[in-house]
Amino acid sequence: MPAMPARLATVSRTRSDRPAVNSGRPRPAVAPLPGAENFKHQVYAALKDAIAAMDIYSSRSEIRLDERGLAEDFGVSRTPVREAMAQLEREGFVRTVPRRGVYVARKTKRQVIDLIIAWAALEGMAARLVTRMAKCGRISTNIRRSISNFIRRSFA
């Protein structure tokens, strides 16, 4: 699957067949998709990459995803875009507000800290499992010592 460009863009639509939506507001920059069997997966991957590449905290205004505009930008029908947005919502990248639309989800400072703590705990557990399963006693001892020193410094 070719890599899709993921960059922040401020787009103002001026086509006569569609009114200006999100004029002057940031929105994910996407390109038409090449022909393929499953557009849903391609739209999902391209949107996820575009959202991840955006600086979603640079503007106070919420970033609304226009289903119709994205479908047009990708060159697909609205169905794969709708399905991709549903998947992104299940994963926490976007949130749906009834009768308002789909918006890029922003994490609070507390949520980001919680994610980092969980990630660090998982990494620590993985490292402990590796050291317990290491065959060479010397490698195991050195890794255990390094982990102990890291934990002591990090959480002291």
pLDDT at residue 81, rounded to an integer: 94
Q: What topology does CATH give the domain 7-104?
A: Arc Repressor Mutant, subunit A (1.10.10)
CB 87 within 8 A of CB 79: no
DSSP-assigned beta bridge partners for residue 7: 29
DSSP 59-117: -SS--EE-HHHHHHHHTS-HHHHHHHHHHHHHTTSEEEETTTEEEE----HHHHHHHHH
Six token digits for residue 77: 């029908």
Per-residue pLDDT of the chain (156 residues; tens, 9 = 90+): 444 444 334 333 334 344 445 556 777 777 666 655 588 889 999 999 999 898 888 888 899 999 999 999 999 999 999 999 999 999 999 999 999 999 999 988 999 899 999 999 999 898 888 777 766 666 667 777 888 888 888 775
pLDDT at residue 5, rounded to an integer: 43
pLDDT at residue 146, rounded to an integer: 82
CB 43 within 8 A of CB 81: yes
The closest alpha carbon to 44, from 86, 2, 84, 92, belongs to 84
pLDDT at residue 6, rounded to an integer: 42
pLDDT at residue 9, rounded to an integer: 40
Sorted by where each begins, the domain ranges of the chain are: 7-104, 109-154
Q: What angle do CA 83, 48, 21 make, to 5 degrees?
A: 75
- The model's pTM is 0.56
